[in-house]
Amino acid sequence: MTTIYRTETVEEQVIQDVKCNCCGESCFSLGNVEALSIHETWGYGSPFDGQVWDADLCAKCSILLNDLLTSHGGGFDITEVTAWGDPIDSDKETNG
Ligand SMILES: [Zn+2]
């Protein structure tokens, strides 16, 4: 069997920018989207049944949201990770 190839040009949509839903600033940093993305499809029994909520928050507004949550006794669950996204075990001794 002989495989015959052809070259095609394919148009592709790429993300040009993501704007923060709070302040409107760009969420791009060093060519990457750095945003807290929130997505919820509200279901039966919620006050928003049948609605989908989406938002992206820049780092600055994410801090403000975390401050709001913290002021109400909550806050984000935050895990320190390596550059590869692996969790850093905070229980390990690293100084020696
Ligand atoms: Zn923002």
Residue 41 falls inside a structural domain:
yes
Look at the chain and report how many structural domains it folds into. Answer: 1
Is 91 a residue whose pLDDT tops 80?
no
Residue 85 lies in a domain: no
**If you measure from the C-alpha of residue 65 to the centroid of ligand 1, how many angstroms do you get, rounded to a whole number?**
10
Establish if 34 belongs to a structural domain. yes
The CA 22 to ligand 1 mean position distance, Å, reads 5
Q: What confidence tens digit (pLDDT) does each residue in 64-77 have?
A: 999 999 999 999 99
Residues 23-72: tens digit of each pLDDT: 999 999 998 999 999 999 999 999 999 999 999 999 999 999 999 999 99
pLDDT for the residue 96? 47
Backbone dihedral angles phi then psi of residue 64, each to the nearest 5 degrees: -60, -40
81 CA to centre of ligand 1 in angstroms: 23
In a domain, 65, yes or no: yes
CA distance 42 to 31: 32
Residue 33 placed within a domain: yes
Asked whether residue 79 is domain-assigned, the answer is no
- Distance (Å) from CA 23 to ligand 1 centroid: 4
Domain, as residue range, for 52: 28-71
